[in-house]
Structure 1
Amino acid sequence: MSGVVVTALGAAFGYLQLRGPKAKLSFEVFGRGIIRDGLPVHDGPLLLVSIVNTGGVVVSIDRIELHRYRTTIDRLMGRPAKVHGCEDPSIRGQNARDALPYELQPGQRWVGTARFDEDMLKEFRRGEYWFAIHTASRKWPHLRHIPRS
């Protein structure tokens, strides 16, 4: 009888652990954006990604890359044809408070950019590239499509 009680308590504890606070992120990608009053908006010269922590736990953003995939199968399998690392993706530069790696608190927004020359930015805006956001809580990156602009 005590084995049944212990098993039931263990199952209840496991269920409560699954329902606890989770890491959830909300993304928005701007093919042509600009920062106004600390928030990203459309119609600007920058390639921006905005990340908001909508979950209940702190999330660590480790790095941001730009990936190009030949086919949908390659994207689903995680095999990019090209990878471009974003050096200093923080809007304020590498020595700023929001430089990567960055601890994103619940309800907080982080905005980053891809700093490349204008020819590379034109290539990224053709609609074939994806932002890959690497976090400490996941093995695979979060992928967000860069719209054609």
Structure 2
Amino acid sequence: MVLESLLAYLHLLAILTMVVFLASEAALCRSEWLNPKAVARLGKLDLIYGIAAVAVLASGVARIVWGVKGPAYYGGNWLLHAKVGIFVVIALISIKPTLTIRRWVKAQRAGAALPAEAEVRATRRLIMLQAHLLPLIPLAATFLARGFGGRG
């Protein structure tokens, strides 16, 4: 039971970290607030967001493998597949903003101008899309934890 509690804690901690840093990115990624220091901060926020996302995935897999319910419970549950599917969609959406922010950081280090307003808006739109999809995952998780979505 201690292992299950620790795995749940690590998973929840990773999720909260991911949410905080995604929200921070969304808040900071605005052309009217962008300056060289903000671009550098965006790069750091995005890096921590990515690390947190990997931690969410790793701790989720650990809960499936070593948790009380085990792989047999989760394997056939469509809600788990929905959660993972949404997570993958968010990860795929995050690729473009991550690459864009890295390019901005590199350009700022080289002394280039700040990114164009249209590019900042497009990047923020993708960040916001991730932020709006993310709450669907805990919705599925709450039903999954209460036994919904299984076969039989």
The verdict on a shared fold, with TM-score over 0.5 as the criterion, is no
TM-score (norm 1): 0.25
TM-score (norm 2): 0.24
**Whose strand proportion is higher, 1 or 2?**
1
**Whose helix proportion is higher, 1 or 2?**
2
Larger of the two Rg values belongs to structure: 1
